[in-house]
Amino acid sequence: MPYWFTERHTPTRGLTFQVEKNLYQEKSPYQILDIVETQDFGLMMLLDGIIMVTEKDEFVYHEMLSHPALFTHSNPQKVLIIGGGDGGTLKQVLLHPSVEKAVLVEIDEMVVNASKRFFPKLATAFEHPKAEVRIEDGIAYLKRSENEFDIILIDSTDPVGPAEGLFHKEFYADCYKALKQNGILTIQSESPWIPDLQPIIRQANQDLKSLFPLVIPYTAAIQTYQAGLWLFQMASKKHHPLNEIDSSKHTGFNFRYYNPELHKGCFALPQFIKELLA
Amino acid sequence: MPYWFTERHTPTRGLTFQVEKNLYQEKSPYQILDIVETQDFGLMMLLDGIIMVTEKDEFVYHEMLSHPALFTHSNPQKVLIIGGGDGGTLKQVLLHPSVEKAVLVEIDEMVVNASKRFFPKLATAFEHPKAEVRIEDGIAYLKRSENEFDIILIDSTDPVGPAEGLFHKEFYADCYKALKQNGILTIQSESPWIPDLQPIIRQANQDLKSLFPLVIPYTAAIQTYQAGLWLFQMASKKHHPLNEIDSSKHTGFNFRYYNPELHKGCFALPQFIKELLA
């Protein structure tokens, strides 16, 4: 029987949609996972009741978390993804011919297994010969790594529950240490429209600025995430996204959101975000 | 008694928010107007149950409908606004020192009166010495006008009900005729995320392209409009927004969304919108 579900973005607002069918529910030591079928977004994965991935608009988040950093770096060979157990970011990363190895470190095997079953188009990435999938705590993994990666992408859930430690300055410092001298870190950085998230966004920006010479935030329009507008923050040791783009590298991709013009345009921030991060 | 309201964006999805209080309701020959108080968006005006203006985020729509065209034109003196009875667009237009006259043509006096009562910060624009407010049908008004305006802004409701005629090619042709030889038309052009709106967006783009030498679409993130992403289309007889911006003109504004970098960045379209308009 179809029913209405509302993901609340504050106690008094949210995104409402009709669920046609509950397909699957499982509980891990970390979180509760639901797979539901919807009219508007196709299959949807929720973690603790928050939309993570939908068939119809996953491309926005996954393209925009990965491509800006990978096209900014002159030769990204080794990439680390923390979180991202659905495989969507890994899939985009592996489209880059320069990438020789992509390591995905997901704490919760349940997410990987559910993606294999319900999002096979994303989960094909797990079988790619250049992919290494590790089920372990990304924070612990990073502590052991030094001068190893060209790109690190933080593909985390919101800063409550298992992902909370991925929003700490100590974690960003470990990312810095694990990056090579020209390395780039990109984090998903929540919705700038939601008042309670604004201090978290600002803190992340300040923490990253204290560690990296270049911190460049950018936005993407993600209709199934809070308020439809999402922030990312790129923290770079050397490369600047607006200086170093080589558009000849864009051929052979089948972009649906990202493109060379947007690579520049996405860094033009609305004034209220500039002021939030000033 | 607070209650939950959902504005449906398709039959099976919508934006849900808590209404603290109903403040006002009135019915005109054209539409039903509601003023409600909300926790998240402050006071809100709805027309036929669709959010038009909210205290907390009206600035996005009003800045982004007006400033891109007004900063693209080298010397905008006479501006016409069709619709926009809340006064928000008029207020932004009148911030431009070059503007000598701004005519607002709103078919429904009820909207103007409700704005005066509930949105006085927007409605102050009605009293500006350079403003002329006319309560009449914008389509009929435009038919009588020729070679008169530097800028025309279509600040309409959705393409059902009273605004339906504002989405026709014949209307755009009348806009072309009413514009001076360097004139610019900007229309609000709905949400590109909503499947049922995509053919309307494409048709408007094709109609404008058949009339104007330059048609340049751009986006803004409007959290209270459908799916959080809004399209505008600028149709210009001569000036191109990316060529002619004079940033020295930006001083003295108190922008909250628009800014000089965004003037360029907003025209970088996500790939799925480029393909929709190809």
Could you state, in order of their start, the residue ranges of all structural domains in chain B? 3-54, 58-276
Element (H, E) at A17: strand A13-27
* Band of pLDDT at residue B246, cut at 50, 70 and 90: confident
Q: Do B13 and A17 touch (CB under 8 A)?
A: yes
Please tell me which of the candidates A11, A15, A18 has its beta carbon nearest to residue B15. A15
Q: What is the mean pLDDT of residues B99-122?
A: 98
Which one is the CATH code of A3-53: 3.30.360.10, 2.30.140.10, 1.10.10.10, 2.40.50.140?
Answer: 2.30.140.10
User: Nearest chain A Cα to B272, which residue?
Assistant: A256
Helix axes B198-209, B169-178, angle to 10 degrees: 40
Q: Do A227 and B227 touch (CB under 8 A)?
A: no
Catalytic residue numbers of A, as ranges: 155
CB neighbour list of residue B74: distance below 8 Å, 6 or more residues apart: B182, B239, B244, B246
Q: Are the C-beta atoms of residues B65 and B232 closer than 8 Å to each other?
A: yes
Q: Specify the pLDDT at position B166.
A: 87
Chain B contact present for A270, CB below 8 A: yes
CA distance B227 to chain A (A): 5
- Name the DSSP letter for residue A213: S
Q: Are the C-beta atoms of residues A220 and A64 closer than 8 Å to each other?
A: yes
- Amino acid letter for position B150: D
| Chain B residues touching residue A267 (CB < 8 angstroms) | 261, 265
User: Nearest chain B Cα to A56, which residue?
Assistant: B193
CA distance A31 to chain B (A): 25
Q: Are the C-beta atoms of residues A258 and A68 closer than 8 Å to each other?
A: yes
The complex scores an ipTM of 0.96
Helix axes A169-178, A198-211, angle to 10 degrees: 40
User: What average pLDDT does the structure give for chain B?
Assistant: 96
Q: Do B262 and A256 touch (CB under 8 A)?
A: no
Chain B contact present for A253, CB below 8 A: no
Q: Output b/e per residue, A5-36; b: 16+ Cβ within 10 A.
A: bbbebbebbbbbbbbeeebeeeebebbebbbb
Please tell me which of the candidates B12, B255, B267 has its beta carbon nearest to residue A40. B12
Give the CA count within 13 Å in the CB-facing half-sphere of A210.
Answer: 12
B120 backbone dihedrals φ, ψ, rounded to 5°: -60, -30
Chain B contact present for A121, CB below 8 A: no
Chain B contact present for A219, CB below 8 A: yes
Q: What is the mean pLDDT of residues B46-65?
A: 97
Q: Do B269 and A256 touch (CB under 8 A)?
A: no
How does strand A78-83 pair with strand A149-155? parallel
Please tell me which of the candidates A6, A41, A228 has its beta carbon nearest to residue B223. A228
Within a 10 A sphere around the Cβ of A201, how many other Cβ atoms?
A: 21
Q: Does domain B3-54 have CATH number 2.30.140.10?
A: yes
Q: Against a cut of 0.90, is the pTM above it? A: yes
Chain B contact present for A272, CB below 8 A: yes
**Per-residue tokens: A272:** 């209220």
CA distance B95 to chain A (A): 17
In 3D space, the residue among B44, B24, B8, B38 whose CA is nearest the CA of residue B194 turns out to be B8
Selected for mutation to probe chain B from A223, A242, A273, A274 (highest B CB count within 10 Å) is: A223
Residue B155: active-site member: yes
The angle formed by the CA atoms of residues B208, B211 and B214, to the nearest 5 degrees, is 70
Chain B contact present for A227, CB below 8 A: yes
Q: Are the C-beta atoms of residues A71 and A56 closer than 8 Å to each other?
A: no
Q: Specify the pLDDT at position A244.
A: 61
Q: Specify the pLDDT at position A248.
A: 78
User: Nearest chain B Cα to A64, which residue?
Assistant: B270
Q: Specify the pLDDT at position A220.
A: 98
Q: Do B17 and A13 touch (CB under 8 A)?
A: yes
Please tell me which of the candidates B14, B258, B270 has its beta carbon nearest to residue A271. B258
Low pLDDT (below 70) residues in chain A: 244
CB neighbour list of residue A227: distance below 8 Å, 6 or more residues apart: A9, A191, A193, A194, B223, B228
**Per-residue tokens: A99:** 């990438």
Q: Per DSSP, what are the bridge partners of residue A154?
A: A82, A187
Is residue B188 helix, strand or coil? strand
CA distance A165 to A138: 10
How does strand B214-221 pair with strand B179-188? unpaired
Within a 10 A sphere around the Cβ of B120, how many other Cβ atoms?
A: 10
pLDDT at B78 > cutoff 70: yes
Chain A contact present for B22, CB below 8 A: no
Radius of gyration of chain B (CA): 18
Helix residue ranges per DSSP H, chain B: 58-72, 88-93, 109-118, 120-123, 138-143, 169-178, 198-209, 260-265, 271-276
Please tell me which of the candidates B14, B223, B262 has its beta carbon nearest to residue A193. B223
Selected for mutation to probe chain B from A12, A216, A229 (highest B CB count within 10 Å) is: A12
| B135-139, B247-251, B254-258: segment of lowest average pLDDT | B247-251
Q: Specify the pLDDT at position B244.
A: 61
Q: Do B223 and A219 touch (CB under 8 A)?
A: no
Element (H, E) at B151: strand B149-155
CB neighbour list of residue B88: distance below 8 Å, 6 or more residues apart: B53, B58, B61, B62, B119, B122, B125
Q: How much of chain B, in percent, has pLDDT values that exceed 90?
A: 92
Helix residue ranges per DSSP H, A9-125: 58-72, 88-93, 109-118, 120-123
How does strand A229-236 pair with strand A179-188? antiparallel
CB neighbour list of residue A106: distance below 8 Å, 6 or more residues apart: A83, A84, A85, A112, A133, A134, A135, A138
Fold of B58-276: Rossmann fold (3.40.50)
Q: What is the mean pLDDT of residues B241-256?
A: 83
- Name the DSSP letter for residue A73: S
CA distance B267 to B258: 12
B104 backbone dihedrals φ, ψ, rounded to 5°: -110, 125
Annotated catalytic residue, options B57, B86, B155, B174: B155
Burial (CB count within 10 angstroms: exposed 0-12, middle 13-18, buried 19+), residue A203:
middle
Q: Do A267 and B262 touch (CB under 8 A)?
A: no
CA end-to-end span of chain A, whole Å? 49
Q: Do B227 and A228 touch (CB under 8 A)?
A: yes
User: Nearest chain A Cα to B228, which residue?
Assistant: A228
| Chain B residues touching residue A259 (CB < 8 angstroms) | 268, 270-271, 274
* Band of pLDDT at residue B32, cut at 50, 70 and 90: very high
| Chain B residues touching residue A266 (CB < 8 angstroms) | 265, 268
CA distance B167 to B172: 8
